[in-house]
């Protein structure tokens, strides 16, 4: 541990100084702690003492016990969002988290910003978003700009029109690009470009859709490229983008089977695709490897599984995520961090208090599937909805909606140490 190492180096520097007295010269060997006094805890000796949460006798970070003898994954802060906000979505960058919702009293779609140290900002309204409109898939640019899909429903015909929009950090609309889509998917900001996914009606009679991909310049809104490809019955559920612009799309069918595909920027030709028995989301590592959330079925039900893949889609191995076989716990979120580790959020969230549990569990795995640490946290109330977000600096954010007896419930944001 770092404190033990520091004491050892301090003693060494005294011993090497000319004419310096040793620590044994300064204190008698028989000296005892005074009556009523206790020895200060020594972090790094493998013994949990005083106010230490743990002591694993090493100085490795993020292994369950930090070099400060504090537990990995511990809560750093918690904020409760104002009641009545209808909070339902969040997005983040390294500096802040934005949580969005709908407030009938304020007259529409709102958001608030939460800083990395847990300070909540003022409530703001999305610019030029009328009550008869909608908003989805908010992303947060590095400079704090909001990127989102906007839906406008005609009060006469009921037809819906969509656009991709960017609002500045102070809430002013910077640009809007109308898009012809049936169902908006996900948005992601990479460098100075936005990548958007959606599904587009191909044949009204058959009901077949195409996957719709567009890229826009973040500053000007100019379209950089576009393509479509047959959906093969899979709705684009997840979008993951690497720093080089290469991206992955995860689709899900009505029977919950999944399809993953990896694509180069501007090309509808997949580098590879792979059909899956289930996909509950995926996470990308910076080196190109990725993890898919799968499920294994057995006679009594199913349990969760993490499937680890090479960049070319070759399965490397799988890890079960349940505490015990048959648990009703679900993997509700996965994300990678800049250190190359995988964060997994487990919970049993449900719309009914009789079904939902009050706790959630965080686990950290390395890129090879080895468990580094896990911790459980009790919300005290049944969890209706829960999501995971991991900043590039490693801070883990859990956004949960708990049932407190009101119609909308209570929305909480927890920050956890890496």
For residue 373, being part of any structural domain is answered with yes
Q: How many domains does the chain have?
A: 1
pLDDT of residue 165: 93
For residue 24, being part of any structural domain is answered with no
Range of the domain at 344: 280-418
Give me the count of residues in the chain: 418
pLDDT of residue 296: 62
For residue 359, being part of any structural domain is answered with yes
- Residue by residue, pLDDT tens for the chain (418 residues) are 332 332 222 232 323 233 333 323 333 444 455 555 567 788 878 778 777 778 777 777 666 787 788 777 889 999 998 876 678 788 888 788 888 887 766 557 888 999 989 999 888 888 766 555 677 788 999 889 999 998 877 667 667 788 999 999 888 999 999 988 878 888 988 888 999 988 877 666 655 678 888 899 999 999 998 888 777 777 766 777 776 777 888 877 777 677 788 887 777 677 777 777 767 788 888 888 888 887 665 555 556 788 898 888 888 888 887 654 445 567 888 998 888 899 999 888 777 777 788 899 999 999 889 999 988 999 999 998 898 998 877 899 999 989 888 877 888 999 999 8
Rounded Cα–Cα distance for residues 250 and 64 (Å): 31
Asked if 68 contacts 89 with a C-beta cutoff of 8 angstroms, the reply is no
For residue 367, being part of any structural domain is answered with yes
Prediction pTM value: 0.78
Query: Which tokens is 309 given?
Result: 């893949």
For residue 261, being part of any structural domain is answered with no
For residue 198, being part of any structural domain is answered with no
pLDDT of residue 147: 93
User: HEC states along 77-139?
Assistant: EEEECCCCCCCCEEEECCCEEEEEEEECCCCEEEEEEEECCCCECCCEECCCCCCCEEEEEEE
Residue 414's domain is classified under what CATH number? 2.120.10.30
For residue 201, being part of any structural domain is answered with no
For residue 365, being part of any structural domain is answered with yes
From residue 233, give the alpha-carbon distance in Å to each of 56, 272, 273, 357.
50, 17, 14, 34
Asked if 278 contacts 264 with a C-beta cutoff of 8 angstroms, the reply is no
């Amino acid at each position: 541990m770092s404190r033990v190492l520091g004491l050892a180096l301090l003693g060494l520097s005294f011993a090497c100084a000319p004419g310096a007295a040793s620590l044994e010269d300064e204190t008698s060997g028989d000296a005892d702690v005074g009556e009523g006094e206790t020895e200060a805890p020594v972090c790094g000796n493998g013994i949990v003492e005083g106010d230490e949460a743990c002591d694993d006798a090493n100085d490795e970070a993020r292994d369950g016990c930090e070099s400060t003898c504090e537990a990995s994954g511990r809560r750093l802060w918690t904020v409760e969002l104002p009641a009545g906000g209808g909070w339902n979505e969040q997005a983040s960058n390294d500096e802040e988290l934005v949580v969005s919702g709908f407030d009938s009293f304020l007259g529409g779609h709102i958001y608030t910003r939460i800083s990395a140290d847990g300070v909540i900002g003022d409530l703001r309204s999305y610019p030029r978003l009328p009550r008869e409109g909608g908003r989805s898939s908010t992303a947060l640019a590095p400079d704090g700009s909001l990127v989102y899909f906007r839906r406008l429903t005609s009060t006469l015909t009921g037809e819906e029109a969509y656009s991709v929009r960017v609002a500045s950090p102070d809430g002013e609309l910077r640009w809007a690009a109308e898009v012809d889509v049936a169902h908006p998917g996900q948005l992601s900001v990479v460098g100075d470009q936005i990548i958007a996914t959606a599904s587009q009606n191909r044949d009204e009679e058959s009901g077949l859709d195409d996957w719709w991909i567009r890229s826009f310049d973040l500053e000007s809104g100019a379209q950089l490229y576009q393509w479509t490809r047959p959906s093969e019955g899979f709705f684009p559920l997840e979008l993951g983008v690497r720093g080089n612009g290469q991206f992955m799309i995860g689709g899900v069918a009505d029977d919950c089977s999944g399809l993953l595909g990896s694509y180069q920027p501007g090309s509808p030709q997949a580098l590879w695709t792979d059909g899956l028995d289930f996909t509950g989301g995926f996470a990308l590592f910076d080196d190109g490897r990725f993890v898919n959330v799968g499920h294994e079925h057995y006679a009594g039900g199913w349990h969760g599984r993490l499937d680890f893949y090479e960049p070319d889609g070759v399965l490397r191995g799988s890890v079960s995520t349940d505490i015990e076989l048959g648990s009703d716990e679900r993997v509700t979120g996965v994300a990678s961090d800049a250190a190359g580790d995988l964060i997994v959020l487990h919970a049993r969230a449900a719309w009914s208090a009789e079904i939902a549990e009050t706790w959630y569990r965080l686990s950290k795995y390395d890129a090879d599937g080895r468990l580094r640490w896990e911790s459980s946290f009790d919300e005290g109330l049944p969890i209706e909805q829960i999501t995971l977000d991991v900043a590039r600096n490693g801070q883990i954010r859990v956004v949960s909606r708990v049932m407190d007896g009101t119609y909308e419930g209570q929305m909480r944001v927890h920050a956890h140490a890496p």
